[in-house]
Amino acid sequence: MMRSLGSITLWISLISAPFLLRQQSCSIGQERLYLDAPYIQKKNVKTLDPAYQLYHFSSDSSRLYYRLKYEQLTARTDSKGQTQVAFRLSYMLLAGSKSLLDSGSVVVADSSNGKHPDYLEGSIQLHTKSASKNLLKLTLADLVSKSNAYAHLIVDQTQNWNKQYFQWFDTYTEKPLFSNYLPTDPCRDFYNLKLRCEASQIDSLQLHHFSLLKNIPAPPFAADYIFPLPEKADSHIVFSYANEHICSLFNKEGIYMIGPDTTAKKGLSVFLFGLDFPVMHSQAAMLEPLRFLTTAAEFKELGQKKADDETVDTFWLQAGGNETRALELKRRFYERIADSNRFFSSFVEGWRTDRGMIYLLMGPPDRVERSENIEIWYYTTTGSNYIFRKVDNPFSDAHYVLDRSETYRESWYTMVQKWREGRIAN
């Protein structure tokens, strides 16, 4: 009898929302695209993937916080046996696309004899322009390997209550929290968590809770598909801005919006996706992504099976033909789920987004071109290119929607069939 690959109570919960998210119109010809895909490169390629965060102290003064994993830098050893790493972060702040408002650079280095920090981090003060929206161009260069990572950030000071006027930080270290994806128990993992907001003098804030969407994106050839947006908050809490135990307010899964008043779609968003984020553990969670590999009838039948039928394991055993292959297929598939959650999450888990869907089925692209609003993924083996466009929404600035086309139908079903036959795509 096959050993269990995992067993937890089986359930399916698919929720639809009537409020729909529409793509912003954008001409690729008007965007300057550049090669850079550090966060989705194939795992044997060493890449730079810095994290950035903007925080506005006032209408004309902002600070850019940066952080980079030590292990992503190339190290060299000097004559004394010390290991050294170093990078240069250069920036240009532009009004529109031409007028230079501010520029500069900073060099960050570390030397050690075996022990080193997990991250190299710091901040840069920016001289910004009030009541405006400007472009910040960033270049991070590894001074040893000479490799570069590029980023474009929009510095938005058009209203006092957008997310750049809020910052989570650790009161013990004074370091910012770069992610808005909180752990299942924020009070345990971030007991020093504090909220900073210097846009105006305030005594209290509103916390709005939205239920998580459980939608799964349609295939890349589906005509006229648009991704839904959370429609309205299901609860509201007024809390003191000076609350030292703010983490206790995040006590259930969902989307949280922090703002100054009852307008539930203006402010800072925080996401709590639960125990199976970013890595799936329960069989119930593992079942949902199989919708990409099954027909509607097959998926309905899977959902009707009992938990002790080892539903997910049975699917992969049938695909792999033997237990060893089934284990490998399952491991690789759910590794991509975890990667998608880390790379592409917006107001839904990353695997539920269009980029997550393509990454899950097709694997890492061979090449990526990006701008501040567009990503184009190139796959040489299938000859397919996928264009994703960033969409405006009140919850996340990391949500991209695929330009769907009938031309993807054949390559999509080819990849689905590979997985079903026990062959790992890409």
Determine the pLDDT at residue 408: 94
The domain of 74 spans 60-156
Query: Looking at the domain assignment, is residue 272 inside a domain?
Result: no
- 320 vs 11, higher pLDDT: 320
Report if residue 208 sits inside a domain. no
Q: What's the sign of the alpha-carbon dihedral 232, 233, 234, 236?
A: negative
- Cβ neighbors of 214 (< 8 A, separation 6 or more) are 13, 14, 15, 288, 352
Position 269 in a domain: no
Separation of alpha carbons 17 and 227, rounded Å: 9
Query: Whole-model pTM above 0.85?
Result: no
Q: Transcribe 245-306 into DSSP letters.
A: TGGGG--SSEEEEEESSS-TTSSEEEEE--TTSSS--SHHHHHGGGGGGS-HHHHHHHHHS-
Q: Give the pLDDT of residue 294.
A: 93
Cross-strand pairs, 228: 20
Q: Which pLDDT score is estimated for 4?
A: 36
> pLDDT of 229-283, one tens digit each?
888 889 988 887 666 567 778 888 999 998 877 665 678 898 999 889 999 988 8
The pLDDT value recorded for residue 349 is 96
Burial 197-208 (b: 16+ CB within 10 A, else e): bebeeeeebbbb
The per-residue pLDDT of the chain, averaged, comes to 82
Task: Give mean pLDDT, residues 196-210.
Answer: 78
Whether residue 60 has pLDDT greater than 90? no
CATH number where 131 lies: 2.60.40.10
Query: Is residue 33 one of the residues assigned to a domain?
Result: no
Token output for 308: 């002790």
Cβ pair 287, 310 in contact under 8 A? no
How many folded domains does the chain comprise?
Answer: 1
Q: Which residue has tokens 């970013």? A: 278
Model confidence pLDDT, tens digit, residues 133-151:
888 999 999 999 998 888 8
Phi/psi for 352 (5° steps) reads -90, 0
Mean pLDDT for 100-128 is: 90
Give pLDDT tens digits for 290-338: 999 999 888 888 877 665 457 888 899 999 999 999 999 999 999 999 9
Residue 119 lies in a domain: yes
Alpha carbon distance 278, 389 (integer Å):
24
d(CA 407, CA 200): 51
pLDDT digits (tens, 9 = 90+) for 325-382: 999 999 999 999 999 999 999 999 999 999 999 999 999 888 888 887 899 999 988 8
Mean pLDDT of 124-130: 86
Q: What are phi and psi of 157, to 5 degrees?
A: -125, 30
Q: Is 151 inside any structural domain?
A: yes
Query: Is residue 417 in a domain?
Result: no
Cis peptide before 117 (omega within 30 of 0): no
pLDDT the model gives residue 25: 37
In a domain, 226, yes or no: no
pLDDT at 121 exceeding the cut of 90: yes
Quick one: average pLDDT of 211-225?
92
SS3 label, residue 423: coil
pLDDT at 416: 94
Q: In terms of pLDDT, which residue wins out, 96 or 8?
A: 96
Rg, Å, the chain Cα set: 23
pLDDT-derived band at 420 (thresholds 50, 70, 90) equals: very high
Q: At 21, is the pLDDT very low, low, confident or very high (cuts 50, 70, 90)? A: very low
Over residues 206-214, the mean pLDDT reads 92
